[in-house]
């Protein structure tokens, strides 16, 4: 394992922990402690999509206009000043990507440079300190190597999920950016995001907006996801997999499906996915646009009306967590539209899924730079 690297700012945070510990004990409460996970604790074939406290995570700190070198740490808890902008003013952003165990025992990341750039774009939108790509990629590789015993075996369908995130840690009273920031990457083994795997599910529209036109929809900001919970909860209680978000101006054009991007395959062989300034630019989406073209489909980002679903033979949701989840139906204003099937995956959706996952797991060659090897011991 790599040795832990001490950070100057980390010493300050440790002193805060001591103070918090004193007062928490005095008042009769304690910060909850998560038991460290062990590889033997996991049933790799039956993993859920949930958090596990692994031995190591990577942290770096931004202060005085520059990022620290960063390094591995063991404590899953982060002491935060009570006036931190990440708590009060929404300066928190994140990414999500996976480590795939190859058949030869090695490990791949998938297009991590795209995640690095997207985190920088999110930081720019929220006036945060962008994380340099070199620091971002090094953090991913160090966390993966340090927790390599938790990368699920090849063939199980499970992966090691990585969550890079950044938040404003400096104390601020008043709406303006922090001076100090914390960047971390933690890891947790996960199974399929949707339990049914490639099983079609049902979606429904409602009156909620995911993001405002000209707002933060294109940034992977925590506030976007907090605001989506009520809409998703209502959809789940009504028996649907998730909600279909329509554009915030006309409430007519499809934007996203829950926290995933939408795609439809037309009856005349086109792969269409929504284009809008308030949609998160998905790494999976742009990868599938390229894969669709490779497989012979005409691929395009375009406006897709909720009233024009008859053009599609198949439809799906796509993103890092689920890769592809077939959409069996969409219900809008009480009218249910069924795509290929409510019980079976369509042939094009299956082909797209097979090709993309084969690249991710290293079973097939993909475009240069898509599958990135992570050196392990």
Taking alpha carbons only, the member of 180, 182, 149 closest to residue 164 is 182
Which pLDDT belongs to residue 316?
97
Instruction: Judge if 18 and 107 occupy the same domain.
Output: yes
Q: Decide if 370 is inside a domain.
A: no
Alpha-carbon distance of 263 to 289, in angstroms, equals 9
Residue 47 makes CB contacts below 8 A (sequence gap 6+) with: 152, 156, 158, 189, 190, 191
Instruction: Judge if 254 and 307 occupy the same domain.
Output: yes
Among the candidates 122, 155, 190, a domain finishes at: 190
Q: Decide if 368 is inside a domain.
A: no
pTM: 0.90
Alpha-carbon distance of 46 to 36, in angstroms, equals 20
Instruction: Judge if 59 and 185 occupy the same domain.
Output: yes
Taking alpha carbons only, the member of 41, 152, 38 closest to residue 102 is 152
Give the count of domains, the chain: 2
Q: Is residue 258 left, alpha or beta, with left meaning phi > 0 and alpha meaning psi from -120 to 50? A: left
Tell me the pLDDT of the chain (377 aa) as tens digits.
Answer: 444 444 444 444 444 444 444 444 444 444 555 689 999 999 999 999 999 999 999 999 999 999 999 999 999 999 999 999 999 999 999 999 999 999 999 999 999 999 999 999 999 999 999 999 999 999 999 999 999 999 999 999 999 999 999 999 999 999 999 999 999 999 999 997 766 568 999 999 999 999 999 999 999 999 999 999 999 999 999 999 999 999 999 999 999 999 999 999 999 999 999 999 999 999 999 999 999 999 999 999 999 999 999 999 999 999 998 899 999 999 999 999 999 999 999 999 999 999 999 999 999 999 999 999 999 99
Q: Decide if 68 is inside a domain.
A: yes
Burial of 126 (0-12, 13-18, 19+ CB in 10 A): buried
Instruction: Judge if 327 and 213 occupy the same domain.
Output: yes
Q: Decide if 365 is inside a domain.
A: no
Element at 260 (helix H, strand E): strand 260-266
Instruction: Judge if 286 and 184 occupy the same domain.
Output: no
Instruction: Judge if 267 and 143 occupy the same domain.
Output: no
Q: Decide if 373 is inside a domain.
A: no
Q: Decide if 287 is inside a domain.
A: yes
Instruction: Judge if 234 and 347 occupy the same domain.
Output: yes
Alpha-carbon distance of 181 to 129, in angstroms, equals 7
Cα distances (angstroms) measured from residue 145 to each of 43, 84, 107, 130, 373: 21, 31, 9, 24, 11
Which pLDDT belongs to residue 321?
86
Instruction: Judge if 40 and 155 occupy the same domain.
Output: yes
Residue 33 makes CB contacts below 8 A (sequence gap 6+) with: none
Instruction: Judge if 27 and 56 occupy the same domain.
Output: yes
Instruction: Judge if 186 and 205 occupy the same domain.
Output: no
Instruction: Judge if 185 and 295 occupy the same domain.
Output: no
Among the candidates 157, 190, 223, a domain finishes at: 190
Which pLDDT belongs to residue 192?
77
Q: Decide if 247 is inside a domain.
A: yes
Among the candidates 158, 190, 222, a domain finishes at: 190
- Residue 347, number of CB atoms within 10 A of its CB: 12
Catalytic residue among 63, 98, 145, 220: 220
The CATH number covering residue 343 comes to 3.20.10.10
Catalytic site residue 98? no
Alpha-carbon distance of 262 to 324, in angstroms, equals 10
The CATH number covering residue 25 comes to 3.30.470.10
Range of the domain at 303: 201-360
Instruction: Judge if 45 and 186 occupy the same domain.
Output: yes
Cα distances (angstroms) measured from residue 129 to each of 81, 132, 185, 316: 18, 9, 16, 35
Taking alpha carbons only, the member of 186, 177, 179 closest to residue 150 is 186
Q: Decide if 349 is inside a domain.
A: yes
């Amino acid at each position: 394992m790599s040795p832990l690297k001490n950070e100057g700012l980390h010493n300050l945070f440790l002193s805060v922990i001591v103070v918090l510990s004193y007062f928490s004990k005095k008042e009769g409460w304690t910060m909850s402690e998560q038991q460290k996970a062990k590889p033997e604790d996991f049933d790799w074939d039956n993993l859920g999509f949930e958090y596990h406290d692994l031995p190591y995570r990577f942290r770096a700190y931004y202060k005085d206009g520059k990022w620290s070198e960063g390094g591995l740490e063991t404590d899953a808890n982060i002491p935060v000043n009570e006036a931190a902008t990440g708590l009060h003013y929404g300066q928190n952003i994140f990414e999500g990507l996976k480590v795939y165990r190859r058949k030869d025992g090695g490990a791949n990341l998938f297009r991590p440079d795209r995640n690095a750039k997207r985190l920088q774009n999110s930081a720019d939108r929220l006036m945060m300190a962008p994380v340099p790509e070199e620091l971002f990629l090094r953090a991913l590789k160090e966390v993966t190597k340090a927790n390599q015993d938790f990368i699920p075996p090849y063939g199980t369908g499970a992966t090691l999920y990585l969550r890079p995130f950044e938040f404003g840690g400096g104390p601020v009273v008043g709406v303006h950016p922090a001076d100090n920031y914390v960047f971390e990457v933690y890891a947790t083994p996960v199974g399929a995001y949707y339990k049914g795997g490639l099983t079609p599910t049902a979606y429904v529209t409602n009156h909620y907006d995911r993001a405002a036109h000209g707002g933060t929809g294109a940034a992977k900001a925590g506030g976007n996801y907090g605001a989506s919970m009520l809409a998703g909860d209502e959809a789940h209680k009504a028996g649907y997999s998730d909600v279909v978000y329509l554009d915030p101006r006309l409430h007519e054009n499809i934007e996203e499906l829950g926290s995933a991007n939408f795609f439809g395959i037309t009856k005349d062989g086109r792969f269409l996915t929504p284009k809008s300034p308030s949609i998160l630019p998905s790494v999976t989406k742009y990868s599938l646009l390229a894969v669709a073209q490779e497989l012979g489909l005409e691929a395009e980002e375009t406006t897709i009306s909720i009233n024009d679903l008859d053009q599609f033979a198949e439809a799906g949701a796509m993103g890092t967590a689920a890769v592809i989840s077939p959409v069996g139906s969409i219900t809008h204003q009480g009218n249910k539209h069924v795509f290929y099937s409510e019980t079976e995956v369509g042939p094009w959706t299956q082909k797209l899924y097979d090709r993309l996952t084969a690249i991710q797991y290293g079973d097939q060659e993909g475009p240069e730079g898509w599958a990135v090897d992570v050196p392990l011991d």
